[in-house]
Amino acid sequence: MRKVLSALIAFAMLIVMTPSSISVKASAENWGQDYDTVNTFTIADKEELLAFRDMVNSGKNFSGKTVTLQADIDLASEEWIPIGRESKPFGGSFQGNNKKIKNLTITNRDLNSAGFFGITGGGSNGVIADLTLENVHIDANQTVGALGGYMVTRTVNCQVIGDIHISGTFMVGGLAGDHYSKIENSHVKGNEGSTISGRYVEANSEGDNIGGLIGLRGEGSNLIQNSSVSNIKISGTRKIGGFIDAAFLSNSFENCEVNNVIIETNASVEYANDNISSLGLGGFIGVFNNHTPNGHIVSSTVRDITMIIPENIKDIATAGYMYGLSRASGKTPDLTENLVTGTNTGSNNAKDNVEGITTHYARLEPTCVEDGHIEYWMSVDKYYKDAARTEEITEADTILAKSGHHAVKVEAKEPSCIEEGNIAYWYCDQCDEYFSDELLTTKVNKEDLILAVVPHKTVKIEAKAPTCTEKGNIAYWYCEECDQYFLDETLQVKLTKEETVLDETDHPAFTLVNVKKASCTEEGYTGDLVCKYCGEVIKQGKATAKLAHHYVNGECSECKEKDPNYVLQKPTENDTQTSTDTNKKETETNKTPQTGDETNIAFWMFLTMVSVLGVASLHRKNKFIEE
């Protein structure tokens, strides 16, 4: 009965589970089949995302429709094909729903319009919003960006974060390659080592128009606001910007920021000479293109910008922290309350010293050889003590005068076998400079002051075997100058003094001494166990008690001491008579001739005869047994 019940339960579970697994597959296969009847779609997994992508690329542009992402999707194992191709763009809205697309990868150097979206064409009616792209690796051709290649769709609250490596030959950006619509609250923030780069291939694929957010900002009164780029290196040949590589005078930017960005040109001398009018690098915008000048840049900030220009083209390239150069007869959009701050290096023009751009200089402490300055703000050749620019000061007021050297003489020191020495010199602890003379006129390198260590002065100590009385040692080398010990004559292996010592050996042989027998007059002693070689007492003996007196007839036979308890007795008449008889008998016996003890001779002859008879009897018995 139990077996039947178990089988029924298993069968029921199979029935319940099977439709679910089938529905997942069916969901992806049937995704979008109601395209003509509904306007909203959802994407729950990678399979549905691929189905959506394939529908767009087959001609369904989703115009007037909204697609919502319902889960994070990892594309780590996917060579991504962008959503929307030429003549088949995505024209609808895509709601990221604050979800992530992770590990987007494209490795096709022949591919144009490369990104999560390839081409979008929704204009003001479509929107791409609330989407994060995390870890993006794209190596394509032209019009390349993480979110999209060529985009004509409003973009809101989109981010590109993590490890970012985006490369192409023309119009390459962190968010989009070429963008023609409004962008709001969108950011590109890379991990350390992230890059956006342009590579030169040939004319018109020159590694130019490279920007942190957008490669090329298209014509028109398009606005970007509350957006930023940070922690990334941007490189190319020309038209390179921390925010936008090239913009038109009709474009506008509000409350945007570029922070901790490296901007580098890799142009050759020949290429630089052929493109002088467009070889611009900017912390915010690389180059302004000609157009109706009705745009503006307001309340935007660049900080910690590093410009890198090869030495051989520094006189050709133009670099500025806010923008590089303008190809519109020097015109720019209206500039209002923009700030250059932080630690910035590499600008080689005065484009930042114009109306609408304030450059902030943090306090710089003076050194002994260079002036420093107070914290101040500068705009249009005017200096201010405050950020609001209400207190104007002169350039001289900003200067903190150099202090002069603060040098200390370091006396000469002879080298030893363990420590370097030095010649006499003077050292300034403020500028970390070394001088060979008291007047501080001759600088020297620290290395030139050093006197090398001298060789060790060593003596070989021969090996010595230990004994039971004295420690020994291994063979070693000893330097008297530095008091150091070495294992061999190469002096490569150092030893401690203790490591050279061999402990004493055990005692090889023993003897017992000072043994004394006890007597009736003195105590005895068991004796001491001592080493035969060194005389060390290994085990100490013990005293033994005196012996008792051995009295005989009232006197000790050993020491002759009288027995205090001995009483001398007088002989009786019987004792006297017995003594007389005994003496008489002994006298008579002595008178008998001594002829031997005949009784004893007879006894021994009898024993001999018995033995002979016994042996004969045993022989006959053995013979009988043999027969």
Is 237 within a domain?
no
How far is 458 from 478, CA to CA, in rounded Å?
Answer: 5
What whole-number distance in Å separates Cα of residue 2 and Cα of residue 353?
90
* pLDDT for 109: 96
Same domain, 400 and 366: yes
In this prediction, residue 142 carries a pLDDT of: 97
b/e burial code for range 320-348 (CB count within 10 A of at least 16 → b): bbbbbbbbbeeebbebeebbbbbebebbe
* pLDDT tens-digit map of 372-429: 999 999 998 899 999 989 999 999 999 999 988 989 999 999 999 989 999 999 999 8
Phi, psi (5° rounding) for residue 279?
-90, 75
Mean pLDDT lowest for which of 291-295, 434-438, 546-550? 291-295
User: What is the rounded CA–CA span in Å between residue 339 and residue 321?
Assistant: 10
Averaged pLDDT for residues 342-355: 83
Q: Are strands 93-107 and 73-74 parallel, antiparallel or unpaired?
A: parallel
Please write the tens of the pLDDT for every residue from 592-611. 444 444 445 555 565 556 55
C-alpha 148/C-alpha 153 separation (Å) is 10
CA distances from 62 to 41, 89, 189, 387 (A): 10, 9, 30, 50
Note the pLDDT of residue 350: 66
Same domain, 546 and 515: yes
Residue 426 lies in a domain: yes
Helix or strand holding residue 135 (H, E): strand 117-139
Q: What is the mean pLDDT of residues 464-492?
A: 91
CA distance 563 to 243: 132
pLDDT at 599: 46
- Looking at residue 510, its pLDDT comes to 80
Q: Residues 99-121: pLDDT tens digits?
A: 999 999 999 999 999 999 999 98
* Six token digits for residue 305: 């910008």
Strands (E), 438-483: 443-444, 450-451, 458-461, 472-473, 476-479
CA-to-CA distance for 267 and 269, rounded, in angstroms?
Answer: 7
Residue 33 has pLDDT above 90, yes or no: yes
Range list of β-strands (E), 191-331 = 195-198, 208-211, 214-217, 223-225, 228-236, 240-241, 244-248, 252-254, 257-265, 280-282, 285-289, 296-298, 301-308, 318-320, 323-326
Enclosing domain of residue 435? 407-451
Confirm if 196 and 212 have CB atoms less than 8 A apart: yes
Report residue 611 as tokens. Answer: 């033995």
3-state helix, strand, coil in the chain (%, to 5): 20, 40, 45
Element (H, E) at 623: helix 598-626
What's the pLDDT at 461?
Answer: 94
Tell whether 395 is covered by a domain: yes
Lowest mean pLDDT among 132-146, 263-277, 401-415, 613-627: 613-627
Q: Report yes or no on 185 lying in a domain.
A: no
Across the range 574-580, mean pLDDT stands at 53
Which residue, of 404, 438, 468, is where some domain finishes? Answer: 404
What is the structure's pLDDT at 198? 96
pLDDT band for 21, please (50, 70, 90 cuts).
very low
Among 250, 248, 185, 249, CA closest to 213:
185
The stretches of 44-121 forming alpha helices (DSSP H) are 46-57
**The Cα angle at residue 234 between residues 85 and 160, in degrees rounded to 5:** 55
In which band, very low, low, confident or very high, does the pLDDT at 618 lie, cut at 50, 70 and 90?
very low
Domain boundary among 528, 556, 584: 556
Lowest-confidence pick of 14-23, 139-148, 319-328, 474-483: 14-23
d(CA 300, CA 247): 15
Please name the residues in contact with 38: beta carbons below 8 A apart, sequence gap of 6 or more.
Answer: 65
For residue 160, tell me if it sits in a domain: no
Dihedral sign from CA coordinates of 504, 507, 513, 518:
positive
Structural domain contains residue 99: no
> Whole-angstrom Cα distance, residue 55 to residue 29?
11
Structural domain contains residue 441:
yes
Q: Could you report the per-residue pLDDT of 71-108, keeping only the tens digit for each?
A: 999 999 899 999 999 899 999 999 999 999 999 999 99
**438 within a domain of the structure (yes/no):** yes
Q: Is the pLDDT of residue 9 over 70?
A: no
Can you give the pLDDT at residue 280?
93
Q: How many domains does the chain have?
A: 4
Of 404, 421, 436, the domain-final residue: 404
Looking at the structure, tell me whether residues 398 and 433 fall in a common domain: no
